[in-house]
Structure formats: C-alpha cells, structure tokens
Amino acid sequence: MKDFFKIILGNLAAQAIVVSLMLVGCVVFLFMLLMSGSSKPIEIADHTVLVVDLWANISDAPETETINNAINQAMEGSYTPNYYLLELIDAIEQAAEDEQIEAIFLHGNLLPVGYGSGLAVLTEVREALLEFKQSGKKIYAYVVDPTMKDYYLMSVADEVYMNPFGLISLNGLSSEGVYLGDALKKYGIGVQATKVGKYKSAVEMFTGNKMSQADREQLSELLDDLWQTILTDISTARGVSKSQILQESDDQGFFIAERAKEIGLVDRVGYFDEVITALKESYAVDEDFGTFRQVAMNDYISRHGFRAEGAPLWVNSPQIAVVYAEGEIVDGEGYTDQVGGDRLSRWIRELRHDENVAAIVLRVNSPGGSAVASELIQREVREANKVKPVVISMGSMAASGGYWISAYSSQIFAEPATITGSIGVFGLVPNFKELANEHGVTFDGVKTSTYADLFTLSRPKTPEEMALIQTFTDQLYDEFIRKVSEGRGLPLEKVAEIAQGRVWSGQDALGIGLVDQIGGLNDAINYAAASAGVGDDWAITQVPEARNLAEAFAELIADTPGVPPVVKAPNDLLHTTIRKLNKELASLRALNDPRNVYARIPFSLEIQ
C-alpha cells in the first residue's frame, strides 16, 4: 500500500512539474512575441532585391492573431505565415516606386489555408507583379516542384529558374467529391433532402455515391473556363503558344526541367546557389552574408506599412470601409473562420450609421451556407446601399449564399477565375433512428401539434413533413430569384433561366449580368471612392482590423506572430486523404440554419 501511494504521489508530482514547465514556456513564448513586436524597422540599402517567400498563405482578410493560436504554435512548433491581399499588393506597388528596390525574387510553394490562395486572389497578385514590371524593374523566380497555382503566379517573371530535378505540374484542373450516402446508410444514419435547381448538387454528398450528370455538366464547363484563363495568362506571360501548352499538358501533364526549358516555360535550369550567384552578379552584394543584397517581403511590409493609393491618412479623411466576408455563412456569430450572419450584419449596420464612412466595399470569399443568415446580411447591405455606395468585390468564390448577400449592391466586381452564381437552395434533414436502434436506444414521446417534432433527429420524416420542408425550400428559392432580379435589375425569367443552382466563372457571369465588371479588390475600392465623390481625400479602414498577438494579449490582461519554423503539411497519400475528408466533414458544423435550408455550392467543389 505504501508503494502504491508513492507511485500516485510521484505521478502527481511529475504532472505538476510538466504543467508548471508548460506554463512557464507559454509565458516565455508570449513575452518573446511581445518583445519581437517592439523591434526597430529594418534598414534598406540601395540596390536591394525584394524577396517574396511563397511558403505562406495569401488570404483576403487581414490576419487576426489569438491567444489560442499562439499557444498552439508554441506547442506544435510551427505555423503558416500569411500575407493578406491588400497589404501584399500595396507592398508590390510601393516597391515599384521605391528607388532602393531594384527587383523582386519569388520562390517557394504556396501553403493554402481555408479559402486562401485561390485563383482569383493569385490573379490580383499576378496583376500587381505585371504592373511592377512596367516600372522597368525585373522579376526573377525559382521553382523546384511548383503546383499549377505556384507556376501560374511565378510565370510573370522575366526569368524563371528551375531546379534540374524539379517538376512543373501543369496537368489541368480537377474537382473531386466525397460521397457519404452509402456510408451513412451502412451506419444507420438516414438523410432526407429537398432542393430547388437542376444543378444544386450539394445534397449529393450526403445522399448519393457518385456525381450526378447535371453536376458533371456544370463542373466540366466551369473548370474548362478556368483552365482556359490560366492557359491564356501563362501563354501571354511566357510567349509560348497556348495550343502548344495545352497539347503538351494533355500528352504528359508534368514537365521536367529540360523539357520545360525547351518549350519556354522556364528560362534557365540550375540549382539555388547558381541563382544566388546570378543575382549577385546583377545586383549589389551583401558582404556580411555572401549573397545578393535583399529584404524579405514581411520585413518590407513591416517597414512601410499599409497605405491606400492617393489616400492621406489623417483622422478626418472620409473612410472607405473594406469588410471581409470570408468562410461559410452560418447562423449567429460564427467562428473566426466563418461568416456569422449576426456578426457581419452588425458590422455593416454600424458602418451605415458611421458618418465618417463614405462607402463600403464588401469582399466576399464564401461558398454560402445558411439561407436565413444570408438574408440577414443581405438586408443590411440593401439598407446601407440606400445611404452610401456598397460595392462587392468577389474573391475566389462568391456563390450561392455568397451571391445572395451581394445582389443589392451598387456594383459587383469579379475576377475571370471567380466561382459565382449557384442561385439555388437545398434542405437536409438527418436522423439517427436506425443507428440508435441497433445499439438498443429507442425514442418515444408526446407532442401537442402535428409538426411539433418536425426537426427531431430520432426518426425519418413522413411524406407530409418532407412536403412541408420542400415548401420552405421552394419559398426560399422563389425569394432568391426575386431578390436577384430586383437587385440586379434583370428580368425574372432571365434569372430563373441562369439560376437552377448552376455555378459560373466570373467571366461567364459578366456575360449573363450577374457581375458588372472584371476587376480586383483595388478596382472595387477605387470605384467606391469615386461613387462616394470623395476625390483623393480618403482612407481605408478594414473590418475586421488586423490584430497582432500583442493587441490580443493586451485585451486579455488590461503580437506580432512568432517565428517558429514553417513546416509543410505531410503530402503522403494517407495525410492527403485524411485532410480532404476532414475538410468535407468540417463543413457539417456550418449546417446550423434554423430551418435546415441552405444556399451553398457543392461541398466538394475544390479546384485542384
């Protein structure tokens, strides 16, 4: 017995020591982060090359640090760096004017997180790089194993270097879905669904085991539109025939270094040290480090900060408010990676009443979600647009509920590669009766009215109940059609024809009237400023604002991100499959519409 108590006390002591060390470690880590935020801006000498490390995510919205994220970073020992779009574009524009910056060097592979690093965002960054070249300065890029997105971005470079053992992936686009219908049946989980729209295929993930013909048709046309845009842009940048790239892609899909050089996809084949030597010969040498004189993009951003072109940042300047709607649309406040209907509605309402805000730009990067939450947001957009211009800037995805919240704006901007439309709704009603019964669990109860337990999970719905849910679905679809017709000034019949839950590329959406102009976030901001009549006297305010760890910590007790190593996610078959399945299943937490009716694009729509 004495030994037993010794063991117990020993374990408790060991656990206490471990917990104490973890707490001390977290405190030290937070202290180091806070101290790092007070470091002086780096000095930049003449003849410097701006180095853009692409081992990062490019998000629409500014990064908001939290204490939880910091603790997770400390425990895991890694994090994913992040550039946000306006900040990155602004830094590139400043570099074009900066006499101390003579060139840009791109390297690394993008690390997409959530809805970041999509094709539309990369298009905007790419356009900023093209404008940088117009200043007469050069862009260099080094690739090893670039994905299609990596190469698409870096193809703008004047000189592209490739590792001799590298491989360019230019094998086209695909969209592959996960279908849980058979699995759910196997485990006794029933799913009943309603939908309106021939192409509204989101329910197929839960009810079927393969892609429907209608979904196959719309996705094939969408991917072909996006693929043609990518091929055209690469062809133009590299001076290579579009038909040749397409033929080579169909023949082999991937390009080893020598073949990539033969057809003009890259300019030189060499190792990283050879690229360093070439840049040392062309630009100033940093004697301390034995390399070319350089500044990292993160340091450059920290030094110069974010500015709006032509916008003096004094306090009394009229504000152009850029509001970010990034993630799935959910009822209530939502998580930080979701668009909470209550939260976004409140932000827009506050901006409507703020006399210092001259116009609102709503940046939408969302596949949609809760129909009720989408309607709450749309109402605030509609009311705000009566008082001041509300301009929509569509990111990589602004579909279904993402389009719902956009319809009543003054103007809609999209990129050619934006995924939009998907005007349709569906309903999902799961039940666990069979699964529960198999484990000896049964349900019974009483009710006062026929439909009192309509949304119970304990049993399948009766035909009469499904008919009622279908009525809800039909009503929402009719309202969706009517609102798009009214908001966009399109005939009801035309909207009904182009709706049906079908997804469109931004370029096609322009042709059918769902968007007004092809352009990026800066284009939308400038349009909003012009519509508000503020001339050159305006400044940008962002909602939510970027918040570093120091600010988050100050809120907790009265950051800047740390620098743990960047660790690329494991890319083996097992981890890739698990990540894909987890991403699909994570969408289930967004299914919180009070009527179980949703305006969302297919869960599986991910461009690879």
Q: What is the DSSP letter of 397?
A: E
Q: Give the number of other CB atoms < 10 A from CB of residue 412.
A: 29
Q: How far is CA 580 from CA 173, 177, 326, 571, 588, in A?
A: 16, 10, 20, 12, 14
Cβ 599 vs Cβ 398: under 8 Å: no
Q: How far is CA 145 from CA 107, 163, 477, in A?
A: 11, 8, 45
Cβ 494 vs Cβ 513: under 8 Å: yes
Coil/strand/helix, residue 561: coil
Cβ 171 vs Cβ 249: under 8 Å: yes
Q: How far apart are CA 586 and CA 573, in angstroms?
A: 20
Residue with tokens 């020993």, as numbered in its chain: 10
Helix (H) or strand (E) holding 83: strand 82-84
> What tokens appear for 197 in the block?
């729209």
- Pick from 423, 400, 433, 396: which is nearest to 500 by CA? 423
Give me the helices (H) in 283-426, please: 297-304, 341-353, 371-387, 401-404
Residues 6+ apart with CB under 8 A from 42: 295, 299, 302, 303
- Pick from 521, 542, 517, 538: which is nearest to 85 by CA? 521
Residue with tokens 């960047």, as numbered in its chain: 566
Q: How far apart are CA 310 and CA 363, in angstroms?
A: 21
Q: How far apart are CA 550 and CA 30, in angstroms?
A: 9
Q: Given the residues 149, 155, 175, 200, select the one marked as catalytic.
A: 200
Residues 6+ apart with CB under 8 A from 322: 86, 361, 363, 521, 525, 540, 541, 542, 543
Q: How far apart are CA 334 and CA 363, in angstroms?
A: 18
Cβ 506 vs Cβ 415: under 8 Å: yes
Q: Could you confirm whether 149 is annotated as catalytic?
A: no
Q: Could you confirm whether 200 is annotated as catalytic?
A: yes
Q: How far apart are CA 345 and CA 390, in angstroms?
A: 14
Q: Given the residues 201, 400, 406, 604, select the one marked as catalytic.
A: 400
- Pick from 338, 387, 378: which is nearest to 360 by CA? 387
Catalytic residue numbers, as ranges: 200, 400
